[in-house]
Amino acid sequence: MLSPARTVERAGVSILVYGDAGSAGRAAALRIQSTVHAAVADRGRAVLGLATGSTPRKVYSHLVSLHREGALSFRDVVTYNLDEFYPIGPLDPKSYRSYMHQHLFSSDAPGRCAPAGRLSPLFSCRQERPQAPWSR
């Protein structure tokens, strides 16, 4: 695991501070990797709640890299978007579901998902990539 530049203690919480966003994103991805491995070993699956926006983009990029390297499997992982606009549908390019598809669920990225908002059979994760190597 990457070492932070410094650690700050506030209200009983340890805040890890890194020198740049890339290092912080890699450290977060490595922590998610460790958590996924532990959850799958303990319970046979992992469930992740994922955020959108510019902050987690580097994290998602590193997760995709870990997957491509064979260091992280999302075969037994289910993800949920933490929020969504209402009444926006999952096919809308401004939806959080669309964001997650672009940054994490595209054909060369890992993951199965439970999209927020109205679930459309035209845009379900399993139908998008039925032959994805991590789903076999």
pLDDT tens, per residue, the chain with 136 residues: 688 889 999 999 999 999 999 999 999 999 999 999 999 999 999 999 888 888 899 999 999 999 889 999 888 988 888 777 778 887 788 888 888 888 887 745 444 554 444 433 333 444 333 333 344 3
Q: What's the burial of 20, exposed, middle or buried (CB within 10 Å: 0-12/13-18/19+)?
A: exposed
CA distance 74 to 66: 10
Peptide bond into 87 cis (omega under 30): yes
Catalogue all structural domains in the chain, each as residue range(s) with its CATH number: 6-135 (3.40.50.1360)
CA distance 100 to 122: 16
* Tally of CA atoms within 13 A in the half-sphere of 30 that contains its CB: 10
Q: What is the pTM of this model?
A: 0.73
